[in-house]
Amino acid sequence: MSCDLVAGLMSRWWDGVMDDRDRDAYEQHLLFCPPCMVQNDKARIALTALARAAREPVPADLRRDLVALLRPMP
């Protein structure tokens, strides 16, 4: 499996929607390709941060300010 193919399949791997053969090939590639492993780790860090941020409530003052910014101008 090429690095370009791995890059194109990364989101499918993280979503858990790859068939067994493709998943095995993807994971095998990561074992022997440090640059792809780094990209995969960066994706893991980003997805973990996004999941954590989604669980935290938006402070009321920030919500108020955002709503004010998004109101249509007269």
Q: What is the pLDDT of residue 67?
A: 78
Q: Are 14 and 50 in contact (CB under 8 A)?
A: no
Single pTM value for the model: 0.65
Q: Which amino acid is at 62?
A: L
pLDDT category of residue 52 using cuts at 50, 70 and 90? confident
Q: Are 18 and 26 in contact (CB under 8 A)?
A: yes
pLDDT of residue 72 exceeding 70, the answer is no
> In sequence order, what are the residues at sequence separation of 6 or more whose Cβ sits closer than 8 angstroms to the Cβ of residue 66?
58
The helices-and-strands tally (H runs, E runs) of the chain is 4, 0
Q: What is the mean pLDDT of residues 24-47?
A: 92
Percent of the chain exceeding pLDDT 90 equals 36
How do residues 1-24 score in pLDDT, each as one tens digit?
Answer: 899 988 888 888 988 999 999 999
